[in-house]
Amino acid sequence: MTAQTLDERSCSCGPEEGDLPVALLSASVHDPSLSPSLMALTVDYELKSWRASALATHVVDWALDFALRRSERAMLTPGRATELARRAVKITFGNGNDRGVPGEVLLHAVCRQFFGSDTVINKVWFKTASNDTYKGFDAVHCVHEGDELQLWLGEAKFYKSLTSAIRSVATDLDEHLDQDYLRSEFALIADKIDDDHPHGGELRRLMHPNTSLDEVFDRIVVPVFVAYESSATAAHDHVCAEYREALEAEVRRAWIKFGNAIDSNLPVTVRLFLLPMGSKKALTDALDQELSRWR
């Protein structure tokens, strides 16, 4: 299930079908009628186990699209593929100390796969050292909704505890949508938009200090991605009616908890993406093993 198929996009700025890794995540629960809208993404099971290894491989598969500039992706030829892939993995995961990176990569993947977004900037370029955590918003994308260009400013949390993740993201939303913080972030972002970006001019105009934030807020979508350890996922070992019912009940409870935690008067559109994990440790262990092949 996709929120917007790539063929339905009104602009060619987003990805073509073959540009992205083969899909792994499925939207098992999707309720766009809610506010914030809700989407729960799953990888389900294989041979009686939650698919931690498959998800770890998928995270690494997305490193090229996540880390490379738009212009670099266009230059991805067979002769440079391995070189660019190695570079992308290195600048994405660094020395592995930033444990929130898988959430940021998966947020990027969801925006690209399900909504046909285009990367405005790659946040890895805000790192000053290989073990830095990313600063500011965890994703800066643009999406066409009809004829309107939206600015998607994402937040990602990769936690064991759902409650802790929601508490953290609620704090970040308050801080990152503050007028002074947002103006400072816009100044950094606008300066790094590729000159050949098809919407560079419009995006820079939106971020310019002369543009009222009232206009900007009408165009901002904040996709919030939360990966957490799920009781429903851990309690099952295959897809069945009981699993689907437990999962839907759990993510709808999470949506209520999220809604109660954030400011109901936020001036932007918020979308909630949940990834219920069978085990965070199983995923991080599988990711460490996958990355060892690149070191």
Q: What are the pLDDT digits (tens) for 68-89?
A: 877 777 777 777 778 888 888 9
Average pLDDT score over the chain: 90
What is the pTM assigned to this prediction? 0.92
Q: What is the CA radius of gyration of the chain?
A: 18
Q: Hey, where are the domains in the chain? A: 27-292
pLDDT of residue 7: 42
The per-residue pLDDT for range 22-46, each reduced to its tens digit, is: 999 999 999 999 999 999 999 999 9
Provide the pLDDT confidence category of residue 11 given band limits of 50, 70 and 90.
low
